[in-house]
Structure 1
Amino acid sequence: MGHGGDVVAELSTDHDEVKDYFQRLNRTSVPEERRKLADLLTIELVRHSVAEEQYLYPALREHLQDGDVIADKEIADHGRAEELMKQLQEEDAAGTRFTAVLRELETEVLAHIYDEEQNLFPALRYACTQDALDELGDKTRRAKKLAPTRPHPGSPSTPPANKLLGPGIGLVDRARDLLTGRGKDDKVA
């Protein structure tokens, strides 16, 4: 969840974890393992998205010439991914619909990651000082600790509402996870 380094390093490491979850999901057909991995993937994606929406995208708006357009596109990508994660949560991990939704989510998320790593992150590195990137990394890590762990497609995705509501929603999600054991063990295939 928190890796250290500036915002680009932090989010890039998250991307690697997400790719690993997709690979692990693609290697197993055991429904219980698929459900656990899908839950862990969802937890990571939601935390990552919330942190980006709270800190990265406002920084894009501030520092990049087309920052508003870029941030709006990224937030729309998150919205589509959140809807797919919600669908995935509701599907039987043994069913073909689970696999279809998972493939669609993987396609969306990997395209989003590629775009961020190839375009957005280099532009941000060019536009910001290292101190600013380091500060954004610290804020991102703090945001992920308090972020929700379940998709909430209807919740606000821009400041200040997301910064006000996110920690409360996150608290409820983490309490539910604690009670159900969701996300507790990533020791699967």
Structure 2
Amino acid sequence: MAHHDENVVDLLLSQHDEIRGLAATVEKSTGETRRTAFDRLRELLAVHETAEEEVVHPFARRSIDDGSHIVDERLEEENEAKGVLSRLEKLDPDSVDFEELFSDFHKDLEAHASHEEKEEFPRLRREATDEQMRGMAKAVRAAEAVAPTHPHQGVESPAKNIMTGPIAAVADRVRDAIGKRRH
């Protein structure tokens, strides 16, 4: 649950830390440990990116200097990452193909997080009021609660997320429930 004083940058940074830990676990483990860590990583990335696309990037686009350029670069990275994540989902996590693709994905994931942390987040801290930062944290939590749990490439705008997100989220959560019953 969101703390009433939670701000959006601190929330996203803590999620970045969790993403980094999960990615490291995927890279260094095998078997069920890798599969479980990858499933959690995939889900966290899907909901995290959806929330950023719906809440954080629109604010950054209109409120920070060069915001459109910064956001467009992040959205391009997110679109590419969704494509790779979708390919990874189809591979056996213990296969050489998965390991090679995940290794590259992990590097790109780190670069993306680093860009947000250096280019977008400090500017959000400067431009947003404390009330806006807390409001965005609440909005991110709400968006994540109903976001798709699998990557959907090409759905990187707020309008596309709002239009396709709820249907994709229901389908993803059914898919997840069926998958858990099979394991």
Range class of TM-score, shorter chain:
over 0.9
Counterpart of 1:7 in structure 2 is: 8
Query: How far, CA to CA, are the matches of 2:169 and 2:81 in structure 1?
Result: 18
Conservation of the 8 A alpha-carbon contact between 1:3 and 1:13? no
Counterpart of 2:39 in structure 1 is: 39
Letter of the 2:122 counterpart: P
Counterpart of 2:22 in structure 1 is: 21
Conservation of the 8 A alpha-carbon contact between 1:7 and 1:133? yes
Query: How far, CA to CA, are the matches of 1:114 and 1:61 in structure 2?
Result: 18
Counterpart of 2:73 in structure 1 is: 73
Q: Does 1:90 align with 2:98?
A: no
Counterpart of 2:152 in structure 1 is: 152
| 1:119 CA displacement | 2.3
The correspondence of residues 40-189 of structure 1 with structure 2, limited to 5 A, is: 40-154=40-154, 156-181=155-180
Query: How far, CA to CA, are the matches of 2:132 and 2:59 in structure 1?
Result: 9
Equivalenced residue count is 180
Conservation of the 8 A alpha-carbon contact between 2:27 and 2:103? no
Aligned with 1:93: secondary structure?
A: coil
Unaligned runs of 5+ in 1: 185-189
* C-alpha distance after superposition, 1:44-90 (max 9, x if no partner): 01110000000111001110121111111111010111111011111
Unaligned runs of 5+ in 2: none
Query: How far, CA to CA, are the matches of 1:118 and 1:104 in structure 2?
Result: 21
| 1:103 CA displacement | 0.8
Query: How far, CA to CA, are the matches of 1:133 and 1:37 in structure 2?
Result: 30
| 1:3 CA displacement | 5.1
Letter of the 1:15 counterpart: H
Conservation of the 8 A alpha-carbon contact between 1:15 and 1:113? yes
Aligned with 1:122: secondary structure?
A: helix
Aligned with 2:158: secondary structure?
A: coil
* C-alpha distance after superposition, 1:8-63 (max 9, x if no partner): 011111101101101212331x2232222111111001110000000111001110
Aligned with 1:181: secondary structure?
A: helix
Query: How far, CA to CA, are the matches of 2:81 and 2:59 in structure 1?
Result: 22
**Would you tell me which structure has more helix in proportion to its own residues?**
2
Conservation of the 8 A alpha-carbon contact between 2:27 and 2:102? no
Percent sequence identity is 29
* C-alpha distance after superposition, 1:84-141 (max 9, x if no partner): 1011111111211100111111111111111111221111110111111111111000
Query: How far, CA to CA, are the matches of 1:69 and 1:76 in structure 2?
Result: 11
